[in-house]
């Protein structure tokens, strides 16, 4: 039995005609860069995540970059963030000219650990930037409290957390701003690249709207150095269609996660994912931890099962950040995650039979290595 890691075609098939007519409507109007479909998606997504404003962008990486600029972050500033994430979290900080300051993650969830944050705050710290890794909400209540006490801003990288919530509050409603990606493989994915920032602050939204469109005020009048980071009209149209299905898709992911949890409950040597109390994850990824992860990935490949590693090298050990001077051993918990994590096939359409196959291959492999 073949089990893909992700099956975007299976997701597209049932909504094909709806997506096609939304795309055709854009082709008819010619509103390709921003335009009414982006306006509409921004309004719908802001409401969905419980924020007042949404600014549609060309990627999640741009969302991080522009949100940090809007927070006033620049050269000489420090941003406290997690080493256990996709590289873009740190790109945003670097693009703004600031320095990422890493602290270690929580042993159970892999998310930025609030108890490590305060010791890393200096007079240059401007922002705390956690990630809801794998779609599991970070401890935003704790981060909000630390940010308030030290007069810092909280920006959330929620690129994996569409539809997640914490204590009944949607991810997107915490802190100064929340950054989203609509890269195709995310829980809410465009037909290409896309991203957004949501915020309750009208001035922050206005600044990001300006920055994404060449900082143009009036025509041919550029008030600062701007960017071309606009969302495509076609992506706005596709995202509005897909947003209607997001809760159903997340529901299917939740059921699939519960099935995996059951299948692995009594398997020695497999650590299943966990979240903080009150968290409702989006289950973007289902990540287990095992010894000899690479060998298990090979066993999966031999059995026709797709898997992934998110992420094999923590950001503080990436060559791009060698100049910051971190070393192996700087963040033991994040490094252990990176060494042991393996992402199982997870998508709304995955079947119980496919999940059983994944579990069978895992159990068989565990017995061989034990
Ligand atoms: C996908 C992702 C991003 C970047 O989004 P792009 O749209 O690919 O630029 C940022 N942070 C995290 C945690 C992500 O998973």
Question: What pLDDT sits at residue 105?
Answer: 98
CB 362 within 8 A of CB 264: yes
With left for phi above 0 and alpha for psi between -120 and 50, is residue 285 left, alpha or beta? beta
- Are β-strands 286-289 and 165-166 bridged in parallel, bridged antiparallel, or unpaired? unpaired
Kindly indicate the confidence band of residue 370, based on its pLDDT and cuts at 50, 70 and 90. Answer: low
CB 315 within 8 A of CB 337: no
Tell which one of 86, 100, 191, 315 to mutate to probe ligand 1, the residue whose CB is within 8 A of the most ligand atoms: 86
pLDDT digits (tens, 9 = 90+) for 195-234: 999 999 999 999 999 999 999 988 999 999 999 999 999 9
Q: Which atom of ligand 1 is nearest to the CA of 131?
A: 13
CA quadruple 19, 25, 29, 32: dihedral, nearest 10: 0
**Residue 280 in contact with ligand 1 by CB distance below 6 A:** no
**Residue 308 in contact with ligand 1 by CB distance below 6 A:** no
**Residue 250 in contact with ligand 1 by CB distance below 6 A:** no
Main-chain phi, psi angles of 21, to 5 degrees: -70, -30
Question: What pLDDT sits at residue 369?
Answer: 73
**233 Cα: distance to centroid of ligand 1 (angstroms):** 20
Q: Which atom of ligand 1 is nearest to the CA of 186?
A: 1
Q: Which atom of ligand 1 is nearest to the CA of 181?
A: 7
Q: Report the residue count for the chain.
A: 370
Nearest residue by C-alpha to atom 4 in ligand 1? 60
pLDDT digits (tens, 9 = 90+) for 323-347: 999 999 999 999 999 999 999 999 9
Query: Computed over its alpha carbons, how large is the radius of gyration of the chain?
Result: 21
If residue 46 lies in a helix (H) or strand (E), which one and from where to where?
A: helix 36-49
Q: Which domains does the chain have, with CATH numbers?
A: 8-102+110-243 (3.40.640.10), 246-369 (3.90.1150.10)
**369 Cα: distance to centroid of ligand 1 (angstroms):** 35
Rounded-to-integer distance, Cα 145 and Cα 128, Å? 11
**Residue 86 in contact with ligand 1 by CB distance below 6 A:** yes
CB 127 within 8 A of CB 293: no
pLDDT digits (tens, 9 = 90+) for 46-70: 999 999 999 999 999 999 999 999 9
Residues 185, 79, 159, CA angle at the centre, nearest 5°?
15
Report CA-CA distances (Å) from 38 to 32, 58, 173, 241, 273: 9, 11, 21, 12, 35
CA-based torsion, 20, 25, 29, 31: positive or negative? negative
CB 155 within 8 A of CB 148: no
Question: What pLDDT sits at residue 213?
Answer: 97
**81 Cα: distance to centroid of ligand 1 (angstroms):** 14
Query: Based on the number of CB atoms within 10 Å of its own CB, is 174 exposed (0-12), middle (13-18) or buried (19 or more)?
Result: buried
Question: What pLDDT sits at residue 368?
Answer: 81
End-to-end Cα separation, the chain, in angstroms: 25
Average pLDDT over residues 238-251: 98
Contacts of 65 by beta carbon, 8 Å cutoff, 6+ apart: 91, 92, 95, 96, 227, 229
| Tokens read off for 17 | 């005609």
pLDDT digits (tens, 9 = 90+) for 84-110: 999 999 999 999 999 999 999 999 999
If residue 354 lies in a helix (H) or strand (E), which one and from where to where?
A: helix 352-369
Main-chain phi, psi angles of 47, to 5 degrees: -65, -40
Rounded-to-integer distance, Cα 334 and Cα 107, Å? 8
**How much is the mean pLDDT over the chain?**
97
Contacts of 173 by beta carbon, 8 Å cutoff, 6+ apart: 49, 50, 51
- pLDDT surpasses 90 at 263: yes
- Are β-strands 195-199 and 177-181 bridged in parallel, bridged antiparallel, or unpaired? antiparallel
| Tokens read off for 356 | 């059983």
**28 Cα: distance to centroid of ligand 1 (angstroms):** 31
**Residue 89 in contact with ligand 1 by CB distance below 6 A:** yes
**Residue 159 in contact with ligand 1 by CB distance below 6 A:** yes
- pLDDT surpasses 80 at 132: yes
Tell which one of 129, 138, 159 to mutate to probe ligand 1, the residue whose CB is within 8 A of the most ligand atoms: 159
């Amino acid at each position: 039995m073949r089990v893909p890691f992700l099956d975007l075609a299976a997701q597209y098939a049932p909504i094909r005609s709806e997506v096609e007519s939304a795309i055709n409507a854009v082709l008819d109007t010619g509103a390709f860069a921003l335009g009414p479909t982006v306006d509409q998606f921004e309004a719908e997504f802001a409401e969905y995540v419980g924020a007042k404003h949404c600014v549609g962008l060309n990627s999640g990486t741009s969302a991080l970059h522009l949100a940090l600029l809007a927070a006033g972050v620049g050269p000489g500033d420090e941003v406290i963030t997690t080493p256990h994430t996709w590289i873009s979290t740190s790109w945003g900080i670097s693009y703004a000219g600031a320095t990422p300051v890493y602290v270690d993650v929580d042993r159970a969830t892999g998310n930025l650990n609030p108890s490590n944050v305060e010791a890393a705050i200096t007079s240059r710290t401007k922002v705390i930037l956690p990630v809801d890794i794998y779609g599991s909400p970070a401890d935003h209540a704790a981060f909000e409290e630390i940010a308030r006490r030290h007069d810092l801003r909280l920006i959330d990288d929620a690129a994996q957390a569409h539809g997640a919530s914490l204590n009944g509050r949607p991810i997107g409603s915490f802190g100064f701003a929340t950054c989203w990606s609509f890269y195709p493989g995310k829980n809410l994915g465009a037909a290409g690249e896309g991203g957004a920032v949501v915020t309750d602050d009208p001035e922050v939204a206005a600044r990001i709207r300006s920055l994404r469109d060449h900082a143009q005020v009036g025509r041919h009048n550029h008030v600062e150095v701007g960017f071309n980071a606009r969302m495509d009209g076609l992506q706005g149209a596709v995202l509005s269609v897909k947003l209607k299905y997001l809760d159903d898709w997340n529901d299917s992911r939740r059921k699939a996660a519960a099935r995996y949890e059951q299948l692995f409950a009594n398997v020695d040597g497999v650590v299943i994912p966990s979240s903080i109390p009150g968290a409702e994850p989006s289950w973007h990824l289902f990540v287990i931890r095992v010894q000899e992860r690479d060998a298990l990935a090979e066993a999966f490949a031999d059995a026709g099962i797709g898997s992934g590693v998110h992420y094999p090298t923590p950001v503080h050990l990436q060559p791009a950040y060698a100049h910051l001077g971190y070393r192996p051993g700087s963040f033991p918990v994040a490094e252990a995650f990176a060494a042991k994590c393996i992402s199982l096939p997870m998508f709304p359409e995955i079947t119980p039979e496919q999940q059983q196959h994944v579990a069978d291959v895992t159990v068989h492999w565990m017995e061989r290595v034990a």
